[in-house]
Structure 1
Amino acid sequence: MRVLFSIAVGVSSVLTVLSVNAQTLFTYGPNAVSKEEFLRVYQKNNVQKKPDFSAKSVNEYVDLYSLFRMKVKEAEQIHLDTTAAVRGELSNYKGQLARTYLSDKEVTKGLVKQAYDRMKEEVKVAHILVAVRPTDDSTRAYHEIDSIYNAIVSKKADFAEMAKQYSEDKGSGAKGGDIGFITALQVVYPFENAAYNTPVGQVSKPFRTQFGFHILKVEERRKNSGQVQVAQIMVATPKSKGAEGVIDARKKIAEVQGLLKSGKAFDQLAKEYSEDKFSKDNGGLMEPFGVGKLMPEFESAAFALKKPGDLSEPIQTEYGIHLVKLVKKIPLQPFDSLQDYITRRVDNDSRAAVAKEAYQVRIKKQFGFKEYPEHLDKLVNDIVAGTEGTKEFKPEDYKSSTETLFELGGKKYTQYNFATYAGGYIRGNIVGNKKATLGDLYKMYQNSVLNDLQQEDLEKSNVEYRNLVTEYRDGILLFDLMDKNVWSKASKDTVGLAGFYKEHQDKYQWQPGFEGTIYQAANEADLLKLQAAINKGTAASDAVEQINTADNPSRISQQTGRFEFSRFHADADAFPQEKPSKIFKNEDGTYTMAMTFKRYPKAESKSLDEARGFVVADYQDYLEKSWNQELRSRYPVKVDEKTMKTIVK
Structure 2
Amino acid sequence: MKIKYFLTFITVLFVISIEAQSSEDEVLFSVAGDPIYVSEFLRVYNKNLDLVQDASQRDVDEYLKLFTTYKLKLKEAKSLKLDEKPSYIKELGNYKKQLANSYIRDSKISDALVAEAYQRISQDINANHILIKVAENANPQDTLVAYNRLLKLRERALAEGFDKVRKEVHNGRTVFGEELGYFTGFRMVYKFENAAFNTPVGEISMPFRTRFGYHIVNVLDKRKSRGERTVAHIMMVSKKGDTLTKPEERIQEIYNKLKQGEEFEALAKQFSDDKNSASRGGKLAPFSSGQIRAKKFEDMAFSLENEGDVSEPFQSQFGWHIVKLLNKKLIPPFEDMKPELEGKVKRDDRSKLIDEALYSSLKKQYGVNENQKALDYFQSILNDTYFKRSWTLPEDFKATENLVKIGNRQFKYSDFGAYLMAKQKGRVIKKPLKAFTKTNYETFLNENLIKYKEANLEKENEEYAHILNEYRDGLLLFDLMENTIWNAAKTDSLEIKDYYTKHKTSYTSPKKIDAVVASSSKQKVLKKVAKLLEKGTNIDTIKKQINSKETTDVIFTIDIMDASNQVLPKDILFKKGISEIYKHNKGYVIVDIKEVLPQLQKSFEEAKGHVISDYQTYKEDNWVNTLKEKYPIKINKEVLKKVKSQIKKQ
TM-score range normalised by the length of the shorter chain: 0.5 to 0.7
Residues 1:455 and 2:454 aligned together: yes
- Provide structure 1 residue ranges, at least 5 long, that are not aligned to the other structure: 231-286, 311-324, 514-521, 526-582, 593-610
Mark the CA change 1:510 to 1:65 in structure 2 (over 3 Å): closer, same or farther: closer
How far did 1:133 drift? 4.7
2-structure distance, mates of 1:98, 1:70: 29
Counterpart of 2:416?
418
Counterpart of 1:366?
365
Residues 122 and 182, structure 1, Cα contact 8 Å, conserved in 2: yes
Counterpart of 1:195?
196
Residues 26 and 637, structure 1, Cα contact 8 Å, conserved in 2: yes
Counterpart of 1:40?
43
How far did 1:614 drift? 10
Mark the CA change 1:478 to 1:223 in structure 2 (over 3 Å): closer, same or farther: closer
Counterpart of 1:629?
629
Residues 384 and 391, structure 1, Cα contact 8 Å, conserved in 2: no
Mark the CA change 1:168 to 1:397 in structure 2 (over 3 Å): closer, same or farther: farther
1-structure distance, mates of 2:7, 2:332: 43
Deviations 1:3-45 (A, max 9, x none): 7992499622222422456454444454433333223322443
2-structure distance, mates of 1:410, 1:167: 57
Matches within 5 A, 1:223-622: 223-224=224-225, 226=227, 330-385=329-384, 392-393=390-391, 400-427=398-425, 430-433=428-431, 435=433, 441-481=440-480, 585=597, 622=622
Counterpart of 1:63?
65
How far did 1:130 drift? 3.4
The two structures have a TM-score, normalised by structure 1, of: 0.58
Give 1:626's aligned amino acid.
T
How far did 1:437 drift? 6.4
Mark the CA change 1:109 to 1:181 in structure 2 (over 3 Å): closer, same or farther: same
1-structure distance, mates of 2:154, 2:499: 89
Residues 127 and 180, structure 2, Cα contact 8 Å, conserved in 1: yes
Q: Secondary structure at the match of 2:104?
A: coil
2-structure distance, mates of 1:67, 1:306: 58
Residues 1:644 and 2:646 aligned together: no
Give 2:191's aligned amino acid.
P
Residues 1:128 and 2:130 aligned together: yes
Deviations 1:425-460 (A, max 9, x none): 442673544756666554443332122122233211
1-structure distance, mates of 2:479, 2:131: 53
Mark the CA change 1:626 to 1:27 in structure 2 (over 3 Å): closer, same or farther: closer
Deviations 1:548-606 (A, max 9, x none): xxxxxxxxxxxxxxxxxxxxxxxxxxxxxxxxxxx995879x999xxxxxxxxxxxxxx
1-structure distance, mates of 2:52, 2:631: 31
Counterpart of 1:182?
183
Counterpart of 1:283?
none
2-structure distance, mates of 1:412, 1:132: 40
Mark the CA change 1:58 to 1:183 in structure 2 (over 3 Å): closer, same or farther: same
1-structure distance, mates of 2:602, 2:24: 68
2-structure distance, mates of 1:172, 1:523: 70
Give 2:219's aligned amino acid.
V
Mark the CA change 1:31 to 1:591 in structure 2 (over 3 Å): closer, same or farther: closer
Counterpart of 2:320?
none
Residues 130 and 145, structure 1, Cα contact 8 Å, conserved in 2: yes
2-structure distance, mates of 1:183, 1:612: 49
The two structures have a TM-score, normalised by structure 2, of: 0.58
Residues 371 and 407, structure 1, Cα contact 8 Å, conserved in 2: no
How far did 1:151 drift? 1.7
Deviations 1:39-78 (A, max 9, x none): 3322443444579699x92123223323423443454466
2-structure distance, mates of 1:487, 1:163: 63
After superposition, the CA RMSD in angstroms is: 5.4
Mark the CA change 1:224 to 1:99 in structure 2 (over 3 Å): closer, same or farther: same
* 1:18 maps to which of 8, 16, 21: 21
2-structure distance, mates of 1:38, 1:486: 26
- Provide structure 2 residue ranges, at least 5 long, that are not aligned to the other structure: 232-285, 312-322, 506-511, 516-594, 604-610
Q: Secondary structure at the match of 2:209?
A: strand
2-structure distance, mates of 1:326, 1:4: 37
1-structure distance, mates of 2:50, 2:33: 31
Matches within 5 A, 1:68-107: 68-76=70-78, 79-107=81-109
The count of residues paired between Structure 1 and Structure 2 equals 477
How far did 1:194 drift? 1.9
1-structure distance, mates of 2:105, 2:43: 26
Deviations 1:157-182 (A, max 9, x none): 76556544666877993xx4442343
Residues 387 and 429, structure 1, Cα contact 8 Å, conserved in 2: no
Counterpart of 1:567?
none
Give 1:130's aligned amino acid.
I
How far did 1:645 drift? 3.1
Residues 123 and 181, structure 1, Cα contact 8 Å, conserved in 2: yes
2-structure distance, mates of 1:29, 1:291: 58
How far did 1:637 drift? 3.3
How far did 1:79 drift? 5.0
Counterpart of 1:213?
214
Give 2:148's aligned amino acid.
S
Counterpart of 2:281?
none
Mark the CA change 1:90 to 1:29 in structure 2 (over 3 Å): closer, same or farther: same
2-structure distance, mates of 1:289, 1:641: 54
1-structure distance, mates of 2:291, 2:153: 26
2-structure distance, mates of 1:366, 1:155: 51
Residues 8 and 471, structure 1, Cα contact 8 Å, conserved in 2: no
Q: Secondary structure at the match of 1:89?
A: helix
Residues 56 and 62, structure 2, Cα contact 8 Å, conserved in 1: no
1-structure distance, mates of 2:15, 2:602: 47
1-structure distance, mates of 2:347, 2:221: 29
Mark the CA change 1:218 to 1:616 in structure 2 (over 3 Å): closer, same or farther: closer
Q: Secondary structure at the match of 2:186?
A: coil
Give 1:427's aligned amino acid.
K
Residues 127 and 178, structure 1, Cα contact 8 Å, conserved in 2: yes
2-structure distance, mates of 1:133, 1:427: 22
Q: Secondary structure at the match of 2:353?
A: helix
Mark the CA change 1:192 to 1:642 in structure 2 (over 3 Å): closer, same or farther: same
Give 1:36's aligned amino acid.
S
Give 1:96's aligned amino acid.
Q
How far did 1:642 drift? 4.8
Residues 228 and 331, structure 2, Cα contact 8 Å, conserved in 1: yes
Mark the CA change 1:332 to 1:475 in structure 2 (over 3 Å): closer, same or farther: closer
1-structure distance, mates of 2:386, 2:362: 39
How far did 1:226 drift? 4.0
1-structure distance, mates of 2:337, 2:489: 51
Deviations 1:143-162 (A, max 9, x none): 24321343245559765565
Mark the CA change 1:351 to 1:326 in structure 2 (over 3 Å): closer, same or farther: farther
Deviates more, 1:161-170 or 1:459-468: 161-170
How far did 1:93 drift? 0.8
Q: Secondary structure at the match of 2:180?
A: strand
Residues 1:146 and 2:147 aligned together: yes
How far did 1:470 drift? 0.6
Residues 130 and 216, structure 2, Cα contact 8 Å, conserved in 1: yes
Mark the CA change 1:481 to 1:288 in structure 2 (over 3 Å): closer, same or farther: closer
